[in-house]
Every structure is written in structure tokens, then in C-alpha cells.
Structure 1
């Protein structure tokens, strides 16, 4: 598990050397940097005394004395409670700054109502994740909530340590871009944690995939994969395309199989024959996709006038393979994608694609977590028509 805590003001908690604190190769999530009391050889914390949790030599009583207010008032200021005057808030903040007080995040978590949103993603790179992350962060900021981000690196095989860490932080909302693999074991594990999260005031939202077998107590924010791909394919059919190829088959993915179903549904409704032998599998490696596209094209797919790709990346890699063979897009073949990544509109031949509202989905996930636990939402997609799809020059 890798993670960093991002405050809504954009700051990142740091260790004593100013570097984000890392423990055992994984960034430790916390609302602020924590430095505990020194421990003597006998195992006893030096300078320890009874009273509120503290860091270094300053505690909440010291802040209250310096500001001339009660410890309860200091506590309200630290929690962001609105029932404090601006003048009092300023005095407390000044005392905190003057005394260089660093609050203990774990102690605060036990005494403060949940006021954070944690997003768990497979990766922190790529247009899909960056847009969803931005959406979640902006909605959290709009509610004056702390935002945290965790990357699993795509590993959902042993989720218990991650879920236990989340429980210890007591966020108000946990948003997970959980695995969409059909028949995955993670869903069953997450279901077992629903009551545990509810007991600490946390709601769960799964983002950017269908519910599948998830508990009805977990909210789901999905998007229209099947109907979106169906719309793209029907548009290409309306231009006169009759022979199609599909790039990006992945049979164990609920998201990508929904897109494939939409593609096949459009062909069937139009009464068009389809040869699946020319399909190429989904792959993240550009060279592999290019090689597969070239091999398929040379083995008979060259009769096709249209390629429907399961993602914009697959469409881009497919175009690269076709160009190697001297095939021009869209003069010789039209290519359409799905997602509408930031680069799609700025290519030499702008890509026709299905726009997925990833940013809006991120914002919706936070709203659902705060206001409609257990809801099932499907966000609409829309077709972005650009230059990579045109009327076929051959039948």
C-alpha cells in the first residue's frame, strides 16, 4: 500500500526532515506530521505526563493558556468547528503557531467526528485516475474536508491491511476504484467490513465499476459503458461502415466487457455480420498492441473499414500499428475510442471517442457518500465526434 495525505490547502504532511513520512516502504497516512515523545532505554516516554495527547513538549492545555481560552475551545478550532468567533479562532491559531504545536492525528481521530475523504486508486498516473482524483479532492474541499489518497499499485489480493488502516483513520467517506475483475475475491472481503466502517461513522463508495456482488450498503458510482460504446458504433454504422474490427478484448473485466457488449449490440441491431477472429486483446504495452494490430490486419482484417477500440490508449496504439503498414486514418480506416483522455482532442488526427465524465464521477462519489449511502448511480457518457472517423471510401 502506498499513500500520501493531501490537505485541502494542498500541503503534504512531512517528517522532521521535511520529506513525506514513510514507514516500511509505504507512506503513512495521517492528518499531519506526528512526532511522539522520546522513549528512554527503560521503555518509558520521557517527559510524559497525564492529560490530553500531545506531541513534543506542547499540549492542548498549553495552547489554551497561551490563547486565554478553554481547552474545549482549542479543540473546536482544531476540528474546524464553525461555532467559534473569528477573533477567538485567530488567537488560538496564533498560539498554535507560536508554540509550534503539532497535533497528534491518531488521538484526534479518536475524539473528533470523521471529517475526511479517502480515495483508494490502482494508480496515481493516467488521465482516468487524475480526473477522478481531482473530482474527489474538489468536492472534499467544497465541504471543508481533508482529502487523502492511497495507491494500491493494482494489488487487491490482500486487502485486509489496507481496510484496517482505513478503519484506524476513521474517514467520513472512503471512495474505492476497486477491481472490476469478474468473480474477484475483494468484493466479499469488503462486504465483511461494511458494519465495521459504519461503527466508526464511515460510508463506503465504489467508483467507476458496476455493483456486481457488492452489498447494498455500499454506494456505487458507475458510468454508461455499454450504451456509450453502442452509441459510438451506431454513429460509425450511420456513416456507412459495415465491416468492423474490435481492439481491446478483456473477458474478465466487467467494465470492458460492458463496452464490448455495446459494440456487438449495435452490430446485431443493424443486421451486420461480424468476424471475431480479427479481435485483438487489451494490453497496456504499446509495442504489443501495435504488433497484434499489424498481424491481424495482414491476416485478413484489412477488409474492415472501421476499428472500435475499448479505450483511447488502445485506439492510439492501433493507429500507430496501422501507420506502420501505410494505412491512413481516417482515409483508409476509421478508428474510434472510449474515455476521451486529455490527449484525444489534440492528436494530429483528433480522436472520435466516447467522453466519460471522470471528474464529475469523482465529485458524485463524495456527494453520495455524504448524503445517499448505498445508492447506485450510473453517470451518462456522450459521443465526442472528431476527425478519426469519417465516411468510408470503400465498401
Structure 2
């Protein structure tokens, strides 16, 4: 039996532009022009219309306007950057699985700006994407949680689904699919590898308090120290972003203070490791003869460096995010929460500590 117009698969009726116009006391044409952003309405009229939109939880049907009733199914992915190797590989997995499911893929970048991410989610909602997949680092503060939780409920109300990919859940009552990486487990394995080789002064590069990916990996580093009964020294944790030039900067600044006060390095990703290796080499230090180093991700930089690192199947993460989102949309029930495992890849950038 055909569904009634404006009623999604979950049975909750969508508000119409006519209802927004009636509540705001203006014409349908005025609402349409204000929402399109090209109508010089008075501040009072615009405020009434936007208040009605919020109260009715109205979402403009962009496909209906542009395609005269033809709806193209799509999946959206929102990520910090498309040039970061880790994000690019996740995006490739999303695109491949989206194509296999017969959908189009929409993509948006945020530059790491939480406000832009929130705006992007709202935009993808207006495009009626079947799923909106958020990838990677996020500043996990209370304000962000509240707003993103509201958007997750809004997506669910129109039969769509928010997917948190590589980041922690928003809470038990938030209707979002979660596909996490085992950041802590991978970092524990990498740090334990160095500890088992006799290294106790292990420099941790890339700490960023408040950022979920970095915090998970630092937690695994600290847990390994505790498991091996090695005292935690906060001075060995260096803050920086997960980029090559940041790895170079952090190591250069550390070495500028004198002889190394560490025998090994745990870099929170392979890009940081690459920059750190360059800085060590410029200072006449050899890897692994003088300093051992391990990374995280197992992407192209690790192969070039013959780097021991933590393998994470980024493309499979992207594929899983799409599959779970579309399966959940079809079946309903409690949104799934899965964790993608990691494993350590042993190469030649780490060796047992030489005893003095």
C-alpha cells in the first residue's frame, strides 16, 4: 500500500511549507524565498518564519524543488579534510559501498570547525540523505553533544540516520549508529611493543586534550605504561596536530633543549612519525639505532619509512558505516554500535634499547 505524502517510513509526518506559512502569518512564496536566502524580508518577518520552521521542525525538500518530484537516494559523508590519508581512505570506503548500494554520495568538509560540521549536518538533512556519516576527530564538549544529539533525533524523524564514524557515541538515548576504531587498544599494543623492547622513556607525540581520536590513543599509551609498571611522566606527552609538519616541529623543539631524554617515540599517527623521523635525521640521530619509533594508521607514510605501526582498515570502516546505516534504516530497532579492531604491523623502525 502506498504511503501518504509527507509521511516517512518511520510513520512520523513531516511538516509542510504551507504549515510554516500559516504559523508565521505569511505566504508560501515568502517562506520559500526566505529559506532560499535571496529575499530581502524585514528582520521581524524573517524571525517569525525561522521560529515557525524551528517549532514545526520543517525541512525544505530540495529534491522536490530541483527535480519536480524525482528523488535520488544518497548517503552523505562529512569529514575534516579530503587530503588527510586516513580521512581519504575512509571516504573511499564510503563511496565504494554507497555505489554498491545504488546510491549517490555527497561529501562535505569542515576543516575541523564544530560549527561548520553542525551546519553541514543540517544541510545534508535538507538534501534528505538517507544517512549522514561524521568521520574522525571532534571536540567533545557539552554544547556540541546537545546540538548534535538534537540533529540526530531530527534525522531519525525524517527516516534518515546519523552515523558517528571513528568517534565516541553521544549517549544511550541518541538514535545514532556508531562505528568506532579501537584507538586505545591499538595504542596499548604499540606502546607495549616498545616497553617490551626495554624502552621506558617513550615520547608521545600528538596529544590534543578534548579531541576524541588523540585522547583515545593517549589513553592506550598511558594504560600500557601502567600495565608494565613504568611511571607516567606528563612531560613526555607533547601536544600537536596530526600532521607531518607538526611531527617535525614537535621533535625539533624537543631536540633543541639538548640531548634526547627519551629512547623511543610513539607517534599518534604515521604523518607525525614521518615528520619526527625527518627532524631526528637532521639532528644526526638514526632510526632505529639511536631512537625507536612506532606510528598509527598503516598508511603510505609507514611503508616509505619501514615503520612499525598500528594497522587500521580505514576503507572497511567506511564500508561498514554505510552498510549499518542502511540496514538499520530498513530494520529499525536500537542503532548498532561496533568497534573496528586494530593490529600491530612489525617493520624495522624499532629495536631493543641498548643498555648503557
Structure 1 residue 388 displacement after superposition: 0.7
RMSD: 2.4
Question: Does structure 1 conserve the Cα–Cα contact (< 8 Å) formed by 2:90 and 2:317?
Answer: yes
Look up the SS of the partner of 2:265 in the other structure: strand
Structure 1 residue 318 displacement after superposition: 1.3
Which residue of structure 1 lines up, in the alignment, with residue 197 of structure 2? 239
Structure 1 residue 153 displacement after superposition: 2.7
Distance in 2 (CA, whole Å) between partners of 1:251 and 1:180 is 11
Please show how residues 102-181 of structure 1 align to structure 2 within 5 Å.
105-107=63-65, 111=69, 115-159=73-117, 161-177=119-135, 179-181=137-139
Give the TM-score normalised by the residue count of structure 1: 0.67
Residue deviations 1:359-383, cap 9 Å, x none? Answer: 1110000011011362111100111
Look up the SS of the partner of 1:248 in the other structure: strand
Higher helix fraction: Structure 1 or Structure 2?
2
Question: Does structure 2 conserve the Cα–Cα contact (< 8 Å) formed by 1:109 and 1:170?
Answer: no
Residue deviations 1:273-307, cap 9 Å, x none? Answer: 34322332113565554343234235467242211
Look up the SS of the partner of 1:125 in the other structure: coil
Which residue of structure 1 lines up, in the alignment, with residue 339 of structure 2? 378
1:387 aligns to 2:348 (yes or no): yes
Which residue of structure 2 lines up, in the alignment, with residue 342 of structure 1? 300
Look up the SS of the partner of 1:124 in the other structure: coil
Distance in 2 (CA, whole Å) between partners of 1:286 and 1:163 is 29
Question: Does structure 2 conserve the Cα–Cα contact (< 8 Å) formed by 1:354 and 1:384?
Answer: yes
Residue deviations 1:208-266, cap 9 Å, x none? Answer: 11114475311111110001100111112222223211111111112211111111111
Residue deviations 1:102-132, cap 9 Å, x none? Answer: xx94447784566211111111111111101
Structure 1 residue 332 displacement after superposition: 0.6
Question: Does structure 1 conserve the Cα–Cα contact (< 8 Å) formed by 2:240 and 2:250?
Answer: no
Larger radius of gyration: 1
Deviates more, 1:125-134 or 1:292-301: 292-301
Residue deviations 1:88-113, cap 9 Å, x none? Answer: xxxxxxxxxxxxxxxx9444778456
Distance in 2 (CA, whole Å) between partners of 1:226 and 1:160 is 27
Distance in 2 (CA, whole Å) between partners of 1:138 and 1:286 is 28
Structure 1 spans left out of the alignment, 5+ residues: 1-103
Structure 2 spans left out of the alignment, 5+ residues: 1-61, 330-334
